[in-house]
Amino acid sequence: MRLKITIAYDGRGFSGWATQPSGHTIQDLIQSAIEQVSKQKVQIQGSGRTDTGVHADGQIAHFDKPEGIDMNPYNWVPALNTKLPATIRVLDCEEVSEDFHARFSAKSKTYSYLLAMQPVLHPMLSGRSWHLPRQLDKATLAEAMSHYIGTHDFRAFAALRGNESEDTCYKRTITEASVKEIDEGFILTYTGSGFLYKMVRLLTGAAVYAAQGKLRLDDHLALLDQSGDQPSGRSPYCAPSDGLTLTRVEY
C-alpha cells in the first residue's frame, strides 16, 4: 500500500524540506515520526523542496506502508502528529495507487506570497510576510506579474545550485500570476507546471522592484526568454523566504 500525506508547516526554525545531515528538516522529522510509529526504516518522497523559512499549507509526500502495519490510513494522521512538533502537522492521509509519486505525478503547484504594507508590521505577520512599508504601485505590480504568464525561459529567475549543465532546461509554464489586495497589503499567487530553485522569490523580487519604480517594465520584460548559460540580466532581488507558502499541489 502506498500512502499519500498532506502536510502543513511553519517553516521558521527548520532547515527547509529536504533531508540534511543535521536532521532538522521537515522531511527528516516526518520520516522519523513514521519510523517511530512503525518501528521500521522508511523513505518518504515530497512533491518538491521548500527552502529554509518557507511555509506550506499543502505540501504532499508519499511513502510505502511498512510491512506488517495494518493501520487504517486515517489513523496515521493522529499517530504521526503526536510525534511531530506543533509547527508541523499531517492534515490528511490516503491510500493511492502504487505508481503514484508525490513529485513526478504532480501536474501543477501553487505558491502564495504575502506583502505586508502597514507602516508597523503586526507581530502575527512577523516571519510570515515581507514587510514593505513603502507603498507600491498596484497597477505596475499587476502588469509586471502578467509578464510571467505563459511558457518562458526563466533562467534569469533561477538561483544557481552549481550542478547545472548545458542540458538544464529553464523553460516553465505559468498559468496564474495574480495580485490580490487585502487589508494587510497584497497576496501574490503563482500557479505553474513547476518552478526552478528560488524562482518564486526571484519573480516576486523583480515585480516588487518594478512596482517601486526601481526597474522599468520594459527592462523587467526583457529578463524573460534570454538564451545562453549566462543571461545578460538577472532578477534584481530575491524576496525573503518569510512571505512564501506552498499552498497546493494538483495531481
Q: Which residues are catalytic?
A: 51
235: burial class by Cβ within 10 Å (0-12, 13-18, 19+)?
buried
Widest CA span in the chain: 61
Asked if 198 and 238 touch (Cβ cutoff 8 Å), the reply is yes
> Locate cell 493511492: which residue?
96
Where helices occur in the chain by DSSP H, the ranges are: 26-38, 76-81, 138-146, 199-211, 217-222
Q: What secondary structure does DSSP assign to 187-249, as a single string?
A: EEEEEES---TTHHHHHHHHHHHHHTTSS-HHHHHHTTT--SSS-SS--S----GGGEEEEEE
| Amino acid identity for residue 146 in this structure | S
Calpha distance 210→207 (Å, rounded):
5
Q: Which residues pair with 116 in a beta bridge?
A: 131, 185
Residue 242 grid coordinates: 518569510
- Cα separation, 188 vs 141, in Å, equals 10
Side chain identity, residue 244: L
